Amino acid sequence: MNDVNITIIGAGVVGLATARKISGTYDNVFLLEKHNTFGQETSSRNSEVIHAGIYYPENSLKARLCTEGKNLLYNYCEKNNIPHRRCGKLIVATTPEESDIIEGVRLTAMNNRLTDLVMLDKDEIAELEPSVFAIKALWSPSTGIIDSHSLMKQYETDTINNGGQIAYNSEVSSIKRTLEGYELTVKEADGKNYSFTSRFVINSAGLTSDLIAGMVGIRDESIKIWYCKGEYFRIIPPKNRLLNRLVYPVPHPRLEHIGVHVTVDLAGGVKLGPDVKYLDSNIQDYRLTPSKQEAFFSSARKFLPFLEFDDIAPEMAGIRPKLQKPGEAFRDYYIMEESGRGLPGFINLIGMESPALTSSLAIADYVFKLVAI
């Protein structure tokens, strides 16, 4: 007999959404987080965009879970009064070559059954965003923005109301296979260790999820995480007031990223970014690089002609937990119940990069189906 039925490691937006869903049906659900509260890593260092599911290859988990998750998320926000805004997004072409690329983006989106995208001409763009320069744009009305802290807080509240237990300051330091499940050892903030057994373990540890998988003996280069940093610059007032919607340039051909874009937030702030830089080692290095100002300025200036060099300043950085090596083709999420590796009841979520905030409720539903008791 195990002490705990289901243990989830990691209280980021994905782990919280999963704990919420699973504790709604099962008893004895335990969520462990090494920090003293939720969302201290990638889940609070992102663009807070509710993505429409435009770019991802047809039938990929990223495409499916994003389209499903977006609708679930809008309903959830409305029901629980979570601040959000369906502000829409423009993907802008500034040259004829880029116009061809956005036509390709439209076709990918149609394959993902996104039927609400509209191609806009120069005048129509000017009606929506008069300060933006573009010769053509793809308009996505279902893209939005969200207060991710309020979202995570509500997931936490639902989990507790369902009877789930959340332990902060609790870092999983080892996991052993037992006859009926797993024995986890947890280090607390005061340095003390304790161990308990759990029938199921769900690894939702974000940037260190490959290391958690390593604790049960999974050594698999194909699910190694590559740290890929993204920095942001903010547009300093008053020029932030010139933009009301999300504005993206054309995406990178291998989808390593979707371009240094304009993100608006619910408080009226406007950010440029994130850029993309694979780090040499898996260390959470959130330092900012002021010398990137020129690169940010010149990419954004192509579609924001009003911008001057001193209108932007370094803001923050986040790190993507990527499965895609530098230069590699698209990689999907790895969400797997590991019976195939002789580890029944161990569920890995690895490479949960964007759009996992948008998809969090759909990811939770997907993981719920993998927990068959």
Query: At closest approach, how far in Å is the CB of 339 from ligand FAD?
Result: 22
* Residue 315 C-beta: closest distance to ligand FAD, Å: 11
Among 9, 77, 304, 307, binds ligand FAD (CB under 6 A): 9
Give the footprint of ligand FAD on residues 309-328 (CB under 6 A).
Answer: 318-320
Q: What are phi and psi of 62, to 5 degrees?
A: -60, -45
Interatomic CA distance for residues 258 and 91, integer angstroms? 10
Query: Given the rule CB under 6 A, which of 30-38, 55-63, 156-164, 337-345 is the region that contacts ligand FAD?
Result: 30-38
Report the distance separating Cα 109 and Cα 106, nearest Å.
5
Question: What is the nearest approach in angstroms of ligand FAD to the Cβ of residue 7?
Answer: 10
- Residue 335 to residues 223, 237, 255, 256: CA-CA distances in angstroms? 11, 42, 20, 20
Lay out the site mask for ligand FAD across 265-294 (x = CB under 6 A, - = otherwise): ---------x--------------------
Stretch that binds ligand FAD, among 5-13, 54-62, 77-85, 303-311 (CB under 6 A): 5-13
Minimum distance from residue 370 beta carbon to ligand FAD (Å): 16
Q: For residue 333, count CB atoms less than 10 angstroms from its CB and return exposed for 0-12, middle for 13-18, buried for 19 or more.
A: buried
Letters for 149-188 (x = contact with ligand FAD by CB under 6 A, - = none) are ----------------------xx----------------
Nearest 5°: phi and psi at 150?
Answer: -65, -35
Instruction: Single out the residue of 12, 53, 88, 259 in contact with ligand FAD (rule: CB under 6 A).
Output: 12
Binding mask 127-156 for ligand FAD (x = CB under 6 A): ------------------------------
Structure tokens at 41: 């890593």
Which tokens is 310 given? 């001193």
Cβ atoms of residues 304 and 262 within 8 Å: yes
Please, are residues 263 and 47 in contact by the beta-carbon 8 Å criterion? yes
Nearer to ligand FAD among residue 137 and residue 357 (C-beta): 357
Residues whose CB is less than 8 angstroms from the CB of residue 350 and which lie 6 or more positions away in sequence, other chains included = 203, 209, 210, 213, 223, 225, 321, 323, 333, 334, 335
Residues 332-361 that bind ligand FAD (CB under 6 A): 352-358
10 forms part of the interface with ligand FAD (CB under 6 A):
yes
CB of 153 to ligand FAD, least distance (A): 14
Q: Which of residues 203-242 bind ligand FAD (CB under 6 A)?
A: 204-208, 212, 230
- Interface residues for ligand FAD in 40-59 (CB under 6 A)? 40-43, 45-49, 51
Of 232, 320, 317, whose CA–CA distance to 270 is shortest?
A: 232
Q: Which of 21, 11, 361 is nearest to 167 (CA)?
A: 11
Helix (H, G, I), strand (E, B) or coil at 76: helix
CA distance 301 to 132: 10
| Residue whose CB is less far from ligand FAD, 49 or 312 | 49
The Cα 77–Cα 344 span in angstroms is: 35
| Residue showing the smallest CB distance to ligand FAD in the complex | 12
Residues engaged in binding ligand FAD (CB under 6 A): 9-15, 32-35, 40-43, 45-49, 51, 171-172, 204-208, 212, 230, 274, 318-320, 352-358
